[in-house]
Chain A
Amino acid sequence: MRSIAAEAKDSPETLKDAPLTRPVRRLDEVKAAKQPVVRYAFDAESARVFSPRKTARRHRSVLPGFGLSLGFTIVYLSLIVLIPLSAVFIKTASLTWPAFLAIVTAPRVVASYRLTFGASFGAAAINTIFGLLVAWVLVRYRFPGRRLADALVDLPFALPTAVAGIALTGLFAANGWIGSLLDPLGIKVAFTPLGVLVALTFIGLPFVVRTVQPVLEQLPRELEEAAATLGASRWPIFRRVIFPVVLPALITGFALAFARAIGEYGSVIFIAGNMPMVSEITPLVIITKLEQYDYNGATAVAVVMLVVSFVLLLAINALQAWTRRRQGAQA
């Protein structure tokens, strides 16, 4: 203001010729709504401090305890998880390559992979279909018992696996509540590979429901209403509007259920019957080898499972990042 006053005294013409309309462009409201900058800064220096990416080096936190907490985290992580896990790889490294291959491709071990991965895939697929259905019903409809059903979905997380195992075995045995219904039809579940599928379906059930549910809850109704107004009927709306939004969460849920299923032990061993070559899962192969003091054999098979688990973990991380991005783009 002062400089303007000085200018008015020094050269009144300049002030008079000053543009009456301010050369400010129209506000980009769409961008502002999409990427709101809630924090603002007065100058370039503090703007840099606030920019989320570069915070690390330029901005030293005033909070205490960084060294202590990070140090403790890393030491504890190493002692409990990293060093013990590395033991598996170090132990396996003492094997020659042909010896390792001979162990992990033995017919009985290969049969167990086939069952473990096949049944895990099947169970995850069942959970994907029914998980989507359950999530849809829980989010969209109101019916008696909905809250109870919603709470029960988490049961497989809370129920100890051994309890789940003996309960499912009892239910699906030929004289059990469900098994006695299936037996006249010639379907045997308990003590067959089908039993493994049932146990793994139970274990993986919450994963798909709990990853899809929040996405469905956030799905804006307007999209479907707009599609309906434009003349689309229900099934095309589901396929073209709802399904693409839910898809990343669905795949993530599938991967989580699959990853959980391949490592599962407690709920499976009771119902599986554990016949070598037929209904023996890979974790059981590891335990059997351990009980025979075949430490090399047990660790070699464990390495194969660990590698698969790690790959899945990385895939799931990437999938979850994808889901978040898709949801971010939605919001």
Chain B
Amino acid sequence: MTDDVHPSPPAGRAASESGLIRWLLIGTALVFLTTFLFLPLAFVFVTGLKKGLAVYLAAIVEPDALAAIRLTLLTAAIAVPLNLVFGVTAAWAIAKFSFPGKSVLITLIDLPFAVSPVIAGLIYVLIFGLQGWFGAWLAEHDMKIIFAVPGIVLATVFVTFPFVARELIPLMQAQGTEQEEAATVLGARGWQTFWRITLPNVKWGLLYGVILCNARAMGEFGAVSVVSGHIRGMTNTLPLHVEILYNEYQFAAAFACASLLALLALVTLALKLGVEYRARGMRRPVQEAAIAASVGVK
């Protein structure tokens, strides 16, 4: 337990803390992390399984729960690809070209992160709701966006908007344009350059963005809650279903469904670690090449 610390502090005591202080700091940090992270996670699974596996499974295969799971998957299946395409396109324009107003554009892309999810829902109610801009027109043509699936998808697209773009822009900016330029000069067409050069270079960053985007798309609560209308079996996503069960004091069922979402979070964290690990392995040869190049130039 004491084979920790950094190897042999050269300047003696003052370059590091004494053992007692070190363990005090570690202890405090671990108590804090356990209270706020580990216990809530454990609580979800323990409460979900408290009344036995049969109750747990019954809560998940119940028709309303299945409908909620289906809607959650559908929403993510629409929102994630949309924002993936947007993220790649935006990163291509921003990282590979120079144009005035670029930093403003980057700030605008970040905007949905700064906006409260409740407001994200509200804006679509203002536009498509019954009293909204297009409300009368939509009612005339018998179309529903608010309190229906399209509204849920729109709100989800809004809150997950920046994830992919935000991962890709700094990565592609750091990589520069030399490789693509070389490919173009050698006669590659635009799409060829993209598929063979750009995409392999950013694949881990891209995957990372998609994983985070998907987690948020499946777990979004505030924005979706405003536009969904909470119609059971119709416009309830899994997080909304959890809320309804909880408010009806069906705690075992609520936590059983919540444990599915917690599982999603754990899978997300595991995938994220995996991607970070692979990306680190990828980066090393590139860095070495860069160092070699700079030494050669000098």
Q: Which residues of A contact B (CB under 8 A)?
A: 36, 38-40, 55-56, 61-66, 68-70, 72-74, 76-77, 80-85, 87-88, 91, 130, 133-134, 136-138, 140-145, 149, 151-164, 166-168, 170-171, 176-178, 201-202, 205, 221, 224-225, 227-229, 232-234, 237, 259, 262-266, 270, 283-284, 286-287, 290, 293, 295, 298-299, 302, 305-306, 309-310, 312-314, 317
Contact = CB atoms under 8 A, between A and B. Distances in A.
Contacts of B35: 178
Interface stretch (B56-64, B199-207, B212-220, B280-288): B212-220
Contact of A283 (B6, B13, B116): B116
A287 B70 CA distance: 26
24 contacts: A61-B96, A61-B98, A61-B177, A63-B193, A73-B105, A87-B127, A133-B25, A138-B29, A160-B264, A161-B221, A161-B239, A162-B258, A163-B242, A166-B242, A202-B36, A224-B15, A234-B17, A270-B243, A270-B246, A283-B222, A284-B118, A290-B122, A306-B115, A313-B107
Contact of A164 (B40, B177, B189, B220): B40
Contacts of A154: 269, 272
Contacts of A270: 243, 246
Interface in B167-224: 177, 180-181, 184-185, 189-190, 193-194, 212, 215, 218-222
A158 B215 CA distance: 6
Contacts of A138: 29
Main secondary structure of the interface of A (DSSP, over half): helix
B33 A152 contact: yes
A152 B28 CA distance: 16
Contacts of A227: 14
A70 B100 CA distance: 12
Contacts of A160: 218-221, 239, 261, 264-265
A152 B30 CA distance: 11
Contacts of A62: 181, 184-185
Given A65-B190, A295-B126, A81 B158 contact: yes
Closest 6 CB pairs of A and B: A160-B219, A263-B116, A266-B221, A228-B14, A228-B11, A265-B222
A209 to B, nearest CB: 9
Given A61-B96, A87-B126, A317 B107 contact: yes
